[in-house]
Structure 1
Amino acid sequence: MGENQVKIDVPLLLVVITLLLLGLLTVYSSSSFHAIRSKGNSLFYFINQMRPLFIGGLLAFIASKIHYKVWGKLAPFILLVAMFLLVYVLLFGKPVRNVKRWIWIDGISIQPGEIAKMAIVIWLSSYLSRNEAKIKNLKGLVPIIGISSIVLVLLLLAPSFGIAFTICLSILFLMFMGAVKIKHMILLGGMVSSMLLIGISKTPYAKTRFFTFLSGEVYQVTQSMQGIGAGGIFGVGLGQGKEKLLFLPYPHTDFIFSSLAEELGMVGTIVVFLLFTIFFLRGMRIATHAPTKFGSLLAFGLVFNIFISALLHIGVASGMLPTTGLPLPFISYGGSSLVMALISVGIILNISKAA
């Protein structure tokens, strides 16, 4: 027991805890005005965030105790469950903001796309590690192309382009780390890019977002950038931000980075970026020291999943990318993304015991 506790990557764990605490503060500050207007209680979203935090923390603890090799054995089942949920949400999901991304059970929302993000990493890590010889040829990549296409099509139908794009990047990253030939990666990347572009062109919701971004007339992004600019170096102070007063849409979810930047300034944003960078570097260290190919790829994939999601969120808030609806891991208000991120951390910590 003592040996395992020492071997757990403490710096990575401390970084995650710091991000979670910062997230709670920012969720309260950025949501309090909206919570009073819509719920009559400034603490509504803050209190609600405690539930996924507790559930995610408990599941992360359990995951840290389960040997990571178990996930390889469960990979096909986990992938099938994720795909079933993606189909289910298309058929029976309740539309929110003209998209079907959530399943509602007794007031609790589940976002299958977030589950799919982790499921595809687990399955792909397992497949690549078990088929090192096969993946040298294009024929060995057929299952990857088939599974990826099914998952992406289901996400594009939702539509959930942000998660679809994140999964695409994670797949390519894992294939690179799994020693797949570059020419085959380029081929797959071209196929995936074509699917995304076709999906955007056929979906009015996504098409509008994409072209308004190119024209520079995105209201949310404009308000987000104003909030970031208003923060200056040290910020206006926690709870003192103005953009959350109905100027900035979704200040505690899709644009929480802007809320944080306005109130904590450039110093706060640098701290957040450094924390995610440390998380990424510690995760890469765990992956490179893992004793098995599967453990290494699994750590690479899970860490990259979280890190790239953070970069994409920051890119949207800063006006560098079209709006995607992606949360900022560990910080944004939301259940599914937080729970899945914490489970991922639990798995990474288990791998760190053997690293």
Structure 2
Amino acid sequence: MDKENRQRMDLTLLLTTILLVAIGIIMVFSASYSYAMSNMGDGLFFLIRVLQWAAVGLVLMIVFSQINYQLWKKLANLLLLASLVLLILVLTPIGTEINFAQRWIHIYGLSLMPTEVAKFSLIIFMAASLERKKNQMQTFDQGVIPYLLLCGVVFLLVYKQPDFSTGLVLVFLMIIMMFIGGIRISHFVFLSLAGLGAVGSFLAYVFLTGQGYKTRRLVAYLDPWADPSDAGLQTIQSLLAIGSGGLSGKGIGRSIQKHLHLPEPHNDFIFSIIAEELGFIGSAFVIVLFALFIWRCTRIAMNAPDIFGCLVASGVATLVGIQVIINIGVATSLLPVTGIPLPFISFGGNALVVLMALTGILLNISKRSIGAGG
């Protein structure tokens, strides 16, 4: 890259990403220490692994920021095919079941999560396909049906793991990218209402049948104190953590709820530990960082030199935004408990690497953006 292009890289996005990852590393260590000592006999267990994954993510982010983002357009179909194959393989004996969920494939000591690969692949594929069909997006048969079928296939494969919440995230991601890609407003409204109706019907069915962990989660959402030692445990402990943090928090490392009171303190409920240790001020700062990240993605999308770059940036902003809303919504009991991690911060190597890799692509787009910088 020449000097002019290097100056155009979105440094605000880069620094925001690095700051979020750094906060994530610190909070994973703080939140996981007691759990790691109790279950692994090593308080540094999760810290070592998150540092390893962050290093891999950093390398990919740097490398991808130097690769012309147009290359990904050529690989879009292959990436989609690879992700679909992985989503199928994870449901076979090749997949590993952990806590009654079959979501991982272990290869040579590494743990691969196909749903995270699917997030990367779907953003690239949707962006490439929507650009290619930009003149056909107003028609229902070309602009809606093919992508609706893809939504159905992806959702079913993810739901079978079972992972209902991630399946919904992927569907929402694709529908929003379709909207940005140019489908009719009427088609978007139809899809949105149909989707909300389907989700509402499913939740009503789960609630009325009264079977399985999904029902217990819905009941706990309505009244977590009805079952404080089981279904409502996570919600109650999360609210206690957030409430006890006050304005400025108890200080890093001084959380009480992380000491085997709050399940998954380093993963799905890490925001609760942030609120307990850093208080309202620290929590608000993290939310501002996410807002800044999404804004820079949006700015890159608005200034992208082509539709593909615009849609990739929009897809990343959508993915991060959806996950932040769901994760914080769960931690604050605004939404039912579900397993969506907090981007860049929750423990999870695959998720961290994928997001940092996507950020690298955005940095490359920003170098070529019209009026970028600032």
TM score, norm. by length of structure 1: 0.95
Provide the rounded CA distance (Å) in 2 between the counterparts of 1:325 and 1:60: 26
Gap regions ≥5 residues in structure 1: none
Is contact 1:117-1:163 (8 Å) kept? Answer: no
- Residue 88 of structure 2 is matched in structure 1 by 87
Q: Which residues of 2 match residues 114-125 of structure 1 at below 5 A?
A: 114-125=116-127
Q: 1:158 aligns with which of 153, 158, 161?
A: 161
In 2, the alpha carbon distance for the partners of 1:234 and 1:262 equals 9
Aligned counterparts of 1:274 and 1:303: Cα–Cα separation in 2: 14
Q: Counterpart in 2 of 1:297?
A: 311
Q: Is the 8 A contact 1:231 1:265 kept in 2?
A: yes
Aligned to 2:330: 316
1:240 Cα offset (Å)? 0.5
Q: Distance in 1 between matches of 2:218 and 2:174?
A: 23
Asked if 1:26 is matched to 2:3, the reply is no
Say what the alpha-carbon RMSD is for the aligned residues. 1.7
2:361 corresponds to which residue?
Answer: 347
CA deviations 1:112-146 (Å, max 9, x no partner) are 11111221121111111111221101011221111
Determine if the alignment matches structure 1 residue 171 to structure 2 residue 174: yes
Choose the corresponding residue for 2:150, options 147, 152, 160: 147
User: Which of residues 277, 280, 297 is equivalent to 1:263?
Assistant: 277
Amino acid at match of 1:185: F
What SS does structure 2 have at the residue aligned with 1:100?
strand
Question: 2:190 corresponds to which residue?
Answer: 187
- The one-letter amino acid paired with 2:334 is M
Q: CA deviation at 1:239?
A: 0.4
Of 196, 206, 228, 2:242 maps to 228
2:282 and 2:327 map into 1 onto residues whose CA distance is 16
Cα distance in structure 1, aligned partners of 2:347 and 2:243: 23
Query: The residue matched to 2:249 in structure 1 has which SS?
Result: coil
Amino acid corresponding to residue 246 of structure 1 in structure 2: L
| Aligned position for 1:13 | 14
Q: What is the distance in 2 between the residues matched to 1:8 and 1:247?
A: 44
Q: Structure 2: 5+ residue runs without aligned partners?
A: 226-231, 370-374
How many Å separate the matches in 2 of 1:87 and 1:150?
Answer: 11
- Displacement of 1:194 in angstroms is 5.2
Aligned-partner SS, 1:90: coil
Contact 1:156–1:199, Cα closer than 8 Å, also in 2: no
Deviations 1:190-235 (CA, angstroms, capped at 9, x unpaired)? 4444554566547833343233323435210111111000000000
Query: 1:105 aligns to what?
Result: 107
- Work out the CA distance in 1 between the residues paired with 2:118 and 2:202: 18
Number of the residue aligned with 1:276: 290
What amino acid maps onto 1:71 in structure 2?
A: W
- Give, as a single letter, the amino acid of the residue that structure 2 aligns with 1:104: H
TM-score (norm 2): 0.91
Amino acid at match of 1:8: M
Quick one: distance in 2 between partners of 1:303 and 1:205?
31
Q: Amino acid of the residue matched to residue 76 of structure 1?
A: N
Question: Identity over the aligned pairs, expressed in percent?
Answer: 36
Q: Which amino acid aligns with 1:318?
A: T
Shift of 1:27: 0.7
Assess if the C-alpha contact under 8 Å between 1:168 and 1:192 holds in 2. no
Confirm or deny that 1:44 pairs with 2:45.
yes
Amino acid at match of 2:138: K
CA distance in 1, matches of 2:108, 2:247: 44
2:320 is matched with 306
CA 103–199 in structure 1, closer or farther in 2 if over 3 Å, else same? farther
SS in 1 for 2:82: helix
Q: Deviations over 1:72-120 (max 9, x none)?
A: 1111111111111111111132221111111122442211111112211
Is the Cα contact below 8 Å between 1:60 and 1:342 reproduced in 2? yes
Amino acid at match of 1:254: D
Deviations 1:10-68 (A, max 9, x none): 01100111111111110111111111112222111101111211111111112111211
Which amino acid is the alignment partner of residue 110 of structure 1? L
Size of the aligned set, in residue pairs, is 355
The letter for the 1-side match of 2:101 is V
The secondary structure found in structure 2 opposite 1:47 is helix
